[in-house]
Amino acid sequence: AVYQYGFQIGLEMLICIFVCMSIAIYLHTIPEFLVSTCVFMFLRTYAGGVHLNSFKACFTCSVAVQVMILQINNKWGIILVSSICIWKLSPVENINHELEREEKEHCRKVTGKILGIILITAGCCTTLGMKKYISLIALTALIVFISQCIGIVKYKVEKEKN
Protein backbone atom coordinates (compact mmCIF):
# COMPACT_ATOMS: atom_id res chain seq x y z
CA ALA A 1 0.00 0.00 0.00
CA VAL A 2 2.85 2.40 0.83
CA TYR A 3 4.62 1.65 -2.48
CA GLN A 4 1.38 2.08 -4.41
CA TYR A 5 0.75 5.44 -2.71
CA GLY A 6 4.32 6.59 -3.42
CA PHE A 7 4.10 5.53 -7.06
CA GLN A 8 0.75 7.29 -7.46
CA ILE A 9 2.06 10.52 -5.90
CA GLY A 10 5.20 10.37 -8.07
CA LEU A 11 3.13 9.88 -11.21
CA GLU A 12 0.81 12.76 -10.28
CA MET A 13 3.82 15.03 -9.66
CA LEU A 14 5.33 14.13 -13.04
CA ILE A 15 2.06 14.90 -14.82
CA CYS A 16 1.80 18.26 -13.06
CA ILE A 17 5.43 19.17 -13.78
CA PHE A 18 4.99 18.18 -17.44
CA VAL A 19 1.89 20.38 -17.82
CA CYS A 20 3.53 23.31 -16.01
CA MET A 21 6.69 22.94 -18.12
CA SER A 22 4.54 22.94 -21.26
CA ILE A 23 2.91 26.18 -20.10
CA ALA A 24 6.37 27.64 -19.35
CA ILE A 25 7.51 26.73 -22.86
CA TYR A 26 4.42 28.41 -24.31
CA LEU A 27 5.03 31.54 -22.16
CA HIS A 28 8.77 31.54 -22.98
CA THR A 29 9.57 31.38 -19.25
CA ILE A 30 11.55 28.15 -18.95
CA PRO A 31 14.34 29.56 -16.71
CA GLU A 32 11.73 31.21 -14.50
CA PHE A 33 9.81 27.94 -14.29
CA LEU A 34 12.94 26.06 -13.24
CA VAL A 35 13.84 28.62 -10.54
CA SER A 36 10.33 28.87 -9.09
CA THR A 37 9.83 25.09 -9.17
CA CYS A 38 13.11 24.46 -7.33
CA VAL A 39 12.38 27.11 -4.69
CA PHE A 40 8.82 25.84 -4.26
CA MET A 41 9.71 22.15 -4.04
CA PHE A 42 12.62 22.59 -1.63
CA LEU A 43 10.62 24.85 0.69
CA ARG A 44 7.43 22.79 0.60
CA THR A 45 9.31 19.55 1.29
CA TYR A 46 10.46 20.74 4.71
CA ALA A 47 8.33 23.77 5.55
CA GLY A 48 5.03 22.07 4.67
CA GLY A 49 1.82 23.58 3.37
CA VAL A 50 -1.67 22.66 2.27
CA HIS A 51 -2.27 19.12 1.00
CA LEU A 52 -5.47 18.88 -0.99
CA ASN A 53 -7.53 15.69 -0.84
CA SER A 54 -7.74 14.81 -4.53
CA PHE A 55 -5.41 14.77 -7.52
CA LYS A 56 -7.81 16.97 -9.50
CA ALA A 57 -7.89 19.67 -6.81
CA CYS A 58 -4.13 19.51 -6.26
CA PHE A 59 -3.38 19.54 -9.98
CA THR A 60 -5.68 22.51 -10.66
CA CYS A 61 -4.27 24.48 -7.74
CA SER A 62 -0.65 23.66 -8.64
CA VAL A 63 -1.03 24.68 -12.27
CA ALA A 64 -2.85 27.90 -11.29
CA VAL A 65 -0.14 28.77 -8.76
CA GLN A 66 2.65 28.07 -11.25
CA VAL A 67 1.05 30.26 -13.93
CA MET A 68 0.48 33.02 -11.37
CA ILE A 69 4.11 32.79 -10.22
CA LEU A 70 5.33 33.10 -13.81
CA GLN A 71 3.13 36.11 -14.53
CA ILE A 72 3.33 38.32 -11.40
CA ASN A 73 6.25 40.53 -10.43
CA ASN A 74 7.33 41.25 -6.79
CA LYS A 75 10.38 42.41 -4.75
CA TRP A 76 12.83 41.84 -1.84
CA GLY A 77 10.47 42.81 1.00
CA ILE A 78 8.27 39.86 0.16
CA ILE A 79 11.31 37.56 0.21
CA LEU A 80 12.32 38.68 3.69
CA VAL A 81 8.85 38.72 5.25
CA SER A 82 7.86 35.42 3.62
CA SER A 83 11.14 33.81 4.69
CA ILE A 84 10.65 34.80 8.32
CA CYS A 85 7.02 33.63 8.28
CA ILE A 86 7.88 30.35 6.54
CA TRP A 87 10.56 29.59 9.09
CA LYS A 88 8.30 30.49 12.04
CA LEU A 89 5.42 28.33 10.76
CA SER A 90 7.49 25.36 9.63
CA PRO A 91 6.81 22.54 9.57
CA VAL A 92 3.08 22.46 8.84
CA GLU A 93 1.56 19.17 9.88
CA ASN A 94 -0.78 17.09 7.78
CA ILE A 95 -3.56 14.94 9.24
CA ASN A 96 -2.10 11.99 7.31
CA HIS A 97 1.44 12.58 8.60
CA GLU A 98 1.72 14.05 12.07
CA LEU A 99 5.32 14.73 13.03
CA GLU A 100 7.26 13.70 16.11
CA ARG A 101 9.19 16.39 18.00
CA GLU A 102 12.50 15.30 16.42
CA GLU A 103 11.01 15.43 12.91
CA LYS A 104 9.68 18.93 13.55
CA GLU A 105 13.10 20.10 14.75
CA HIS A 106 14.79 18.53 11.73
CA CYS A 107 12.34 20.08 9.27
CA ARG A 108 12.67 23.53 10.85
CA LYS A 109 16.47 23.29 10.76
CA VAL A 110 16.51 22.23 7.10
CA THR A 111 13.94 24.94 6.26
CA GLY A 112 16.28 27.52 7.82
CA LYS A 113 19.19 26.28 5.70
CA ILE A 114 17.10 26.32 2.53
CA LEU A 115 15.92 29.86 3.30
CA GLY A 116 19.53 30.92 3.86
CA ILE A 117 20.50 29.55 0.46
CA ILE A 118 17.51 31.26 -1.12
CA LEU A 119 18.45 34.61 0.48
CA ILE A 120 22.05 34.26 -0.72
CA THR A 121 20.79 33.40 -4.21
CA ALA A 122 18.48 36.44 -4.18
CA GLY A 123 21.43 38.57 -3.05
CA CYS A 124 23.53 37.28 -5.95
CA CYS A 125 20.68 37.96 -8.37
CA THR A 126 20.45 41.52 -7.02
CA THR A 127 24.19 42.03 -7.45
CA LEU A 128 24.07 40.68 -11.01
CA GLY A 129 20.99 42.76 -11.93
CA MET A 130 18.77 39.72 -12.48
CA LYS A 131 15.58 41.45 -11.30
CA LYS A 132 13.10 39.01 -12.77
CA TYR A 133 14.61 36.17 -10.70
CA ILE A 134 14.37 38.22 -7.51
CA SER A 135 10.70 38.76 -8.25
CA LEU A 136 10.26 35.09 -9.01
CA ILE A 137 11.88 34.01 -5.74
CA ALA A 138 9.75 36.54 -3.84
CA LEU A 139 6.48 35.38 -5.32
CA THR A 140 7.33 31.72 -4.88
CA ALA A 141 8.21 32.26 -1.21
CA LEU A 142 4.93 34.15 -0.75
CA ILE A 143 2.98 31.27 -2.31
CA VAL A 144 4.68 28.77 0.03
CA PHE A 145 3.81 31.00 3.01
CA ILE A 146 0.15 31.20 1.90
CA SER A 147 0.13 27.43 1.40
CA GLN A 148 1.44 26.97 4.94
CA CYS A 149 -1.33 29.19 6.33
CA ILE A 150 -3.98 27.23 4.44
CA GLY A 151 -2.36 23.97 5.57
CA ILE A 152 -2.49 25.05 9.23
CA VAL A 153 -6.18 25.94 8.98
CA LYS A 154 -6.95 22.71 7.11
CA TYR A 155 -5.05 20.64 9.70
CA LYS A 156 -6.95 22.26 12.59
CA VAL A 157 -10.32 21.73 10.90
CA GLU A 158 -9.57 18.06 10.09
CA LYS A 159 -8.15 17.49 13.59
CA GLU A 160 -11.39 18.80 15.14
CA LYS A 161 -13.44 16.42 12.96
CA ASN A 162 -11.53 13.42 14.28
Q: Note the pLDDT tens digit of each residue in 81-129.
A: 788 889 988 998 888 878 899 999 999 999 999 999 999 999 999 899 8
- Report the residue count for the chain: 162
pLDDT at 125: 92
pLDDT at 72: 62
Number of H helices, E strands in the chain: 6, 0
Distance CA 37, CA 140 (A): 8
